[in-house]
A and B are shown apart, each in its own frame.
Chain A
Amino acid sequence: MIAQASVKDSYRPPYGVTNSPETILRFPFPFPEDSYMYSMNVEPHVRGGPVVAMQNTFDIDEHYVAECTEKARILAEDPRRCIVMPHMREAEWDFVELAMETLSEQYPDYFALMRDGANWHWTNRLLGLEQAFVFGDAETLPHPPFEYMARQMQGDFTLHDQREDDLWMDGGMVTAQADWSLKFDLGMSFRQWHAPVPKAAELGVFDRGLRFLLMLQHGKPVRRLNWTMTINPRLDTSPENYLVWGADRASVTPDNALDKVHLRVELQTLYRLPRSHAILFSIRCYLLPLRDIVRVPKWGRRLHRVLGALDPALSSYKGLDLYRPTVVSVLSRYDDGAELTPGILPDLAQLEDA
Chain B
Amino acid sequence: MAKSGVKTAIIASTTLLTPTLRRFVLRAQGWCFPVLSAGSHVLLGFGGPERMFKNAYSIVSRKDDGSEIVIIVRRAPQSRGGSVFLHEQGREGLSVTILGTANLFPIMRRARRHVLLSAGIGITPFLAYLETLRAGGMDYVLHHFCRPEEREAFESLLHGQDSACVHIHDQLPGAAGLREQLANQPITTHVYYCGPEGFMDWVAGAVRAVGFVPGKVHSEHFFVPEGGQPFAVVLARSGRTVNVGADETLLEALEAADLNPPCMCRGGACGACAVTVLDGQPDHRDHVLTEAERTAATTILTCVSRAKTQTLTLDL
Contacts and interface: CB of A to CB of B under 8 A. Distances in A.
Asked whether A and B interact, the reply is yes
Interface of A: 87-88, 90, 94, 97, 161-164, 211, 215, 217-219, 274-277
B108 A219 contact: no
A277 B264 contact: no
A163 B108 contact: yes
Nearest to B102: A217
Enumerate the 3 nearest inter-chain pairs by beta-carbon distance, A residue then B residue, closest first: A87-B109, A274-B35, A277-B37
Given A215-B264, A215-B272, A276 B109 contact: yes
Contact of B271 (A90, A215, A274, A276): A215
B35 A277 contact: no
18 contacts: A94-B35, A97-B35, A162-B106, A163-B110, A163-B215, A211-B271, A215-B102, A215-B264, A217-B100, A217-B101, A218-B34, A218-B101, A218-B102, A219-B34, A275-B35, A275-B36, A275-B37, A277-B103
B264 A274 contact: no
A166 B101 CA distance: 21
Given A215-B271, A215-B272, A274-B37, 10 more contacts: A87-B110, A88-B109, A161-B109, A215-B102, A217-B101, A217-B102, A275-B36, A275-B37, A276-B37, A277-B107
A165 to B, nearest CB: 9
B272 A274 contact: no
Interface string B88-101: 00000000000011
Given A215-B272, A219-B34, A274-B37, A164 B106 contact: no
Contacts of B103: 277
A277 B106 CA distance: 7
Taking residues whose C-beta sits less than 8 angstroms from the other chain, chain B's interface range is 10 to 19
Nearest to A217: B102
A113 to B, nearest CB: 16
Chain A CB within 10 Å, residue with most, of B34, B102, B108, B109: B109
Contacts of A217: 100-102, 264
B140 to A, nearest CB: 15
Interface string B24-53: 000000000011110100000000000000
A160 to B, nearest CB: 12
Chain B CB within 10 Å, residue with most, of A164, A211, A218: A218
Contacts of B182: none
Contact of B36 (A87, A163, A215, A274): A274
Contacts of A87: 109-110
B263 to A, nearest CB: 11
A274 B40 CA distance: 10
B297 interface: no
A87 B132 CA distance: 13
B275 interface: no
Contacts of B101: 217-218
Contacts of B271: 211, 215
B270 interface: yes
Interface in B46-64: none
B266 to A, nearest CB: 14
Interface string B252-287: 000000000000100000111000000000000000
Interface in B98-122: 100-103, 106-110
B287 to A, nearest CB: 13
B114 to A, nearest CB: 13
A164 B215 CA distance: 6
B128 to A, nearest CB: 12
A302 B262 CA distance: 36
Contacts of A97: 35
Contacts of A219: 34
A215 B263 CA distance: 11
